[in-house]
Amino acid sequence: MKMISGGVCAAKGFKASGVHCGIRKNPHKNDLALIVSDVPCSAAAVYTTNLVKGAPIILDKMHLADGIAQAVICNSGKANTCNANGLEIAKGMAELAAKHLGIKTEDVLVASTGVIGEPLDLAPIEKGMPSLVAKLSDEDCLEACLGIMTTDTKPKEVAVEFKLGGKTCRLGGIAKGSGMIHPNMATMLVFLTTDAAISPAMIQKALSGDVQKTFNMISVDGDTSTNDTVVLMANGLAGNKEITEEGKDFTTFMKALNTVTVDLCMRIAADGEGATKLLECIVSGADTELAAKTAAKSVITSSLVKTAMFGEDANWGRVLCAIGYSGADVDVNKVSLEFKSIAGSVKLCENGAGVPFSEELAAKVLHENEIDIIISVGDGPFSATAWGCDLTYEYVKINGEYRT
C-alpha cells in the first residue's frame, strides 16, 4: 500500500470540479463542488447523530436506500438546515445535477455546509451547473476541495493505492471541517471514492465500522453539527472480484480505507478553527475498547486541556481530571502520562501521582505544533486514539463573528 496523489480523482472513473456560483459573497471562493463516477457505484454513508439534521441528509437517506449512487453535489456557505423548503431545495440540487450529467436523480447525493437557518436559493446553483460540469476533471480535485470549505484554512485530500486479487485499486478522499467538530460526527463533510469492487452491504459495513475509530474520535470544540456526512462510493472499475463477505480482500480494503480516514482525521483536527497545535491522545492498557475510547475522547474534548496546550503549560492534572469525569472504567491509581513531540518527551505522572519533571523540557515539548498525549491506564489489551487541537483566542473571534 502506498500514498498517491489525486484525492477523489485518484480512483479510475471518477471526476471532480468546483466553481463559485454566487452562494457566497466572496467571488474568489468556490461554493459549489461536484464528484461523479463514469458508472453507478455501490455506496454507503454515515451521518450526524444530532436530532437537528440538514435537509440533504434526509434526501440522501432516501436516495441511498438501494445502496447505489453515482454523484455528489455539495454547496458551501449555507447549510440548508432548519429551512421550511430545505428538502425541496435539496431535491432541486439533485435534479439539476442529474439533468446536466445525464444520470438518474435518485443516484445523486447532496451535501451542504455553512450557516444554519439561512435560506438557500437554487438560482445560483442552476446558473453555475454548466460551468461545474464543463470543468469536471479526473486529474485534479483541488477545485472541489475548495468548493466544500467554510472556515477551513487549507484543502484536505489524500489517496492510497493497494492490491486486491492481483488488481491495482485506488481509494481517495477529500474533507472539510474546522469548527463545530465533535465525536459522533461533526461539521465535517467527507467524500471517499474507490475503483475497487465491493457490494453495497459490505461497503456500508466497512464505512460504519471505520468511523467508530476515526471520525467519531475527533473533537475541536465539543459541538456536534447538523450536516455531518461521510460518503463512500465504489465503482468497481479496478476489475477485482467483488467483495461480498469478510475475508482477506475485505481486510485489505478496510486497511486502505482506514489509512485514508486517519489521514483526513488528522488534517481536520490540525485545521481546527484558530488552532495552532494538532493534539493526538493515545490511551493504552485499558480492559475494554470502550474504556480506552471514552478516556481518549474526554481528554481531547476538555477545554482546560486544550487551553493548557495553547499556553504550552504542562498542567497535567487537567488530563487526569478529564479521565476521571469521563465515565471510563479505569483505575486512576494506575494512570501514567507523558507529553511528546519532535522536541522530546516528558513524563509527568505515574500510577496516578505526579513525578518530578523539567519545566524547561516540558515547555520545549509543548512549543511544537504537533503534540502527543500518551496515557497508560493499566495493563489491559485495549487502546484508542483521538484527535483534536488547542483552544485559542482566535477560535472565539472566528465564532463570535461567524454569521456576520
Positions marked active-site = 187
Dihedral sign of CA atoms 118, 123, 124, 128 in order: positive
First CA to last CA distance, the chain: 45
Q: Is there a contact between 352 and 332 (Cβ–Cβ < 8 Å)?
A: yes
Distance CA 241, CA 322 (A): 47
Strand partners, 76: 113
Distance CA 222, CA 225 (A): 10
Distance, CA of 75 to CA of 90 (rounded, Å)? 10
DSSP classification of residue 137 = B
- The three cell numbers of residue 366 are 509543548
Q: Which residues contact 204 (CB under 8 A, 6 or more apart)?
A: 44, 67
Sign of the four-CA dihedral 189, 279, 399, 325: positive
Dist. CA 357–CA 364, nearest whole Å: 13
**C-alpha cell of residue 340:** 511528546
CB 112 within 8 A of CB 120: yes
CA-to-CA distance for 113 and 111, rounded, in angstroms? 7
Give me 207's grid cell.
464505512
**Measuring CA to CA, which residue among 337, 393, 335 is closest to residue 362?**
337
Could you give the residue ranges of the DSSP H alpha helices within 148-247? Answer: 200-211
